[in-house]
Amino acid sequence: MLQSLGLCLVLSLAIQWILWAVAALLHTEKFYDLAGSGTFILLSHLSLQWTGTNYLRQKVQTGLITVWGVRLGTFLFLRILRDGHDRRFDKVRDNPGTFFVYWTVQGIWIFVTLLPSLMLNLEKRNKPLGLADYLGWTLWTIGFLTQAIADQQKWSFKADPDNAGKFIQSGLWAYSRHPNYLGEILQWSGLFLSASSVLGGYQYVSVISPVFVWFLLNYVSGIPILERQAMKRWGEDPTYKSYIQLTPVLWPLKF
């Protein structure tokens, strides 16, 4: 299994580096997120084929990752086509070295996030479906719907000319300032929970997957960047000040 996991990591990085060369040559980030989602799907299916077991748990897990990847990848690709650029890359796309770091981080992110599912697909042992599976898939479903609904609500909000220059505070965005990220965390937490049904020993290190997703979104590439941009844009707006005081950053609960 360790050899196969190592191959998955190499493939994840190799794909990103090849596409980085193309993106750097064209000075574009337009297929960055699409490449990430596609690599998730590819590695999930490859790891399932390598073992040749095709247990129901493995097929469901791979299917859920595929559904997530197709939806999110398509949404992000359409969004960047609409917007014309991704502000994350404003100071990056013309700097090949820094751009390379972004693509490399994506390769690592893919591997670490997929780790429980890769271990599950590469595992020859099987157990009957149980509570952890059903709870995990339920959690994934809640996360998927949360993310998909939040994305659609924001898309529709920005598509309305009357909302130009405004921030969204309706729908799921009235309960969390980043419900799409909440959905992302719930999905990968659910997939770890299901995979844990057959994991054992050192394989439990794969709990790093949902923890890593939460840490990345909460402290590195997601929420901090968007919060700074929002504060710069609406920080003096009384309505926005009230919104951030009343609405939790991520979890729809006040502690």
- Tens place of pLDDT per residue across the chain (255 aa): 789 999 999 999 999 999 999 999 999 999 999 999 999 999 999 999 998 898 999 999 999 999 999 999 999 999 999 988 888 888 888 899 999 999 999 999 999 999 999 999 999 989 999 999 999 999 999 999 999 999 999 999 999 999 999 999 999 999 999 999 999 999 999 999 999 999 988 999 999 999 999 999 999 888 998 999 999 999 999 999 999 999 999 999 865
- Residue spans of the domains in the chain: they are 1-54+86-126, 127-255
Least Cα distance to 15 among 35, 34, 33, 1 occurs for 35
pLDDT at 127: 93
Q: Could you tell me the two tokens for 184?
A: 């992302």
**Contact between 29 and 103 (Cβ < 8 Å):** no
Degrees, nearest 5: CA angle 169-229-184 = 60
pLDDT at 255: 54
Q: Could you tell me the two tokens for 237?
A: 């707006």
pLDDT at 254: 64
pLDDT at 253: 81
